[in-house]
Amino acid sequence: MAKNMYAEDPDFKYLCVDQKQLMEDQTQPFDGKKNCWIVNPKGGYLKAEIQSTKGDDVTVLTEDREEVSVKKDTIQQMNPPKFEKLTDMANLTYLNEASVLYNLKARYVMSLIYTYSGLFCIAINPYRRLP
């Protein structure tokens, strides 16, 4: 079996996603017709699941188990878990504001500060010294 030539490099963790963690994240339950993003009144977006639709009003259940009624136009589609912590966001199925911000945050939490969007590299300053 081929040995990973970067396995010994302590700085490699800043460039590549841990495969075990990624596999766990990519196997989360998902329903493309129900899972969505809604605007968080405090800023940003919340993960939500559509419960019912009545005209232009949609009732969703947020990840905090709170039932909220929102307008249909404000809901943004969510990408399937197979796109979790994607290196190049140009490959996202739904390239909307909520999905881009979520991907950047998920990568930042894992100390993956470099993300691409097509030809452009996005670097998020971790406000700490990296090797």
> pLDDT for 46-83, tens place per residue?
999 999 999 999 999 999 999 999 999 999 999 999 99
Would you say 112 and 123 are in contact if contact means Cβ atoms under 8 Å apart? no
Q: CB atoms < 10 A from the CB of 89, how many?
A: 20
For the question of whether the overall pTM of this predicted structure is more than 0.85, the answer is no
Distance between first and last Cα of the chain:
30
Report residue 12: phi and psi, to 5°.
Answer: -65, -25
CA distances (Å), 88 to each of 9, 27, 79, 95, 118, in order?
23, 20, 14, 11, 6
Q: What is the pLDDT of residues 2-51, one digit of tens each?
A: 455 556 777 666 677 777 877 887 788 889 899 999 999 998 999 999 99
